[in-house]
Structure 1
């Protein structure tokens, strides 16, 4: 009986989340795979790729509207998250994600966009630059997970990536973990800052708590270290102008371990260190991130 009630409550909560936070943009068909894209503004094309457990709303809260004053901004949901479809039962690799998002951008007429990604999205942006160099004008990386790390995968994502975790643990979380708990947990992600007023209401915690989204995210996270380890030796091949933005107080993706090392691996890369900023510069330091993207555009001859 508990299992039946749990599944019913989980389904009800997912329906409410999708009703309260519907797609912000359009659903593209990329060879039978649905990709959710939000497009705003006019000018040179910029693609924004969100991080782990995110969706388009993370970027549309502050950064995308700011960039839209000078650029045509395309914000994607990564596969399995938000309203983009998952297509790999083992978890979409960063190379696969770069491929489908590049094809989605091309369908929108963005053949050589500036590509900007935050955290896990930075890994996808790096994969785009390495594997699809003819389809990118410049690269902007925001607190990117870029250099192979030594810390183990956290227990939640380790369990959630398994079939058992998907069948047993995730329905319980979807059914019973309240939105206020997720909203409170956002402050941990933003630390030492707090999530800005209105961010949680815009972001939609219920979208993150859907079973399929948590499972897709966990599988991607479980595979990420091996994928970054394989990709990292190819960073010197990146030839487009590259700007990196990273907070000095980021304890989620360390500045010294990732971005300072990455700067030395990509020819001509420039690094801006944001004093006292944590892991979410695209929200709490959006003007500084927008300025870095504008510099990348200028270096690429787009401004």
Structure 2
């Protein structure tokens, strides 16, 4: 029995029952599952981009809070994640993931949006904002990856996604949260199903081989409003990540280290994350 897969389907049914649309769209030759919720607010659309091994379900508890402030909330499952089919798209796996995200924003969202990216989704969101700024009204980075790291730090980070035993699974789970919920620890070994996939293995192998990182100028030259959130309990990404972003973000960026946030506040503190995003939109005049 695929326990985690079953729980993901239950989560999807619960979201759909509350009015969230769950569908598959064709972009860049890829069938991409996504959620869409019509909002009550007048702000621009919000695009929620998950990280490596994550899924759109991870943002599910933020949908309704964001919908009160913004006109639409959308969250795609990147290729090989969530309910989207496995896909790597050739030798340059990371780039092809990005190309699908770009096509999704252009074809499905179709207007400038507030793009919120977590972890690897944060790095891809920076690339989107730097290379296609016409589609990014504002950028919110939540514990983003993409910083240039020493080789040993990069190896250690990528190795942490390889879970071979229940003890390793629990250790990895603890690195994701400020205070891991008991169910997450009890079922930690099942989480390996999210990370032991062809797409995730290809992405980590490519990142290790190329030491992929963002070009500093891409971060430095971001012209739209930028919010950077870092957890006071961040344990997955090394502390050099925070320093790197602080060194390269433009002066107008809002940088906050938030007590009680781990690597995935959308799972652990969804209401607080929504509050930060709404305040950011208010101060940016969106």
TM range (shorter): 0.7 to 0.9
After TM superposition, the structure 1 stretch with the greater mean CA deviation from structure 2, 32-41 or 103-112, is 103-112
Larger Rg: 1 or 2? 1
* Counterpart position of 1:266: 249
Structure 2, unpaired ranges of 5+: 13-21
Q: Which runs of 5+ in 1 are unaligned?
A: 1-12, 161-169
SS in structure 1 of the partner of residue 91 of structure 2: coil
Q: 2:17 matched to which residue of 1?
A: none
Q: Deviations over 1:139-176 (max 9, x none)?
A: 0001112420111424975997xxxxxxxxx9xx7xxx
Aligned to 1:27: 24
Equivalent pair of 2:116/2:140 in contact (CA under 8 Å)? yes
Aligned to 2:63: 64
Task: Work out which structure has the larger RCO, using CA pairs closer than 8 Å and 6 or more positions apart in sequence.
Answer: 1
Cα gap change, 1:183/1:67 in structure 2, threshold over 3 Å: closer, same or farther?
farther
Could you say what secondary structure the match of 1:233 adopts?
Answer: helix
| Equivalent residue number for residue 15 of structure 2 | none
**Which shows bigger deviation, 130-139 or 146-155?**
146-155
Matches within 5 A, 1:40-119: 40-42=37-39, 43=41, 44-60=44-60, 62-71=61-70, 72-85=72-85, 86-93=87-94, 95-119=95-119
- Find the aligned partners of 2:259 and 2:102 in 1 and give their Cα distance: 33
Give, in whole Å, the separation in 2 of the partners of 1:121 and 1:115.
10
Q: Is the contact made by 2:46 and 2:116 (CA closer than 8 Å) also made in structure 1?
A: yes
Tell me the SS of whatever aligns to 1:90: coil
**Residue aligned with 1:235, SS:** helix
Give the one of 200, 215, 218 matched to 2:204.
218
Query: 1:17, 1:283 → 2: CA distance?
Result: 15
The residue correspondences of 1:59-208 to structure 2 (distance < 5 A) are 59-60=59-60, 62-71=61-70, 72-85=72-85, 86-93=87-94, 95-150=95-150, 151-154=153-156, 157=159, 184-185=170-171, 187-195=173-181, 205=191, 207-208=193-194
CA-CA distance at 1:87 after TM superposition? 3.6
1:286 aligns with 2:270: yes
Q: What is the aligned residue count?
A: 266
Pairwise CA RMSD? 3.4
Any runs of at least 4 consecutive aligned residues in structure 1 with deviations exceeding 6 A, and if so which?
Answer: 180-183, 198-201
Which whole-Å deviations, capped at 9, do the CAs of 1:60-90 have from their partners, x for residues lacking one?
1x22333233222111112222233424233
Shift of 1:271: 0.8
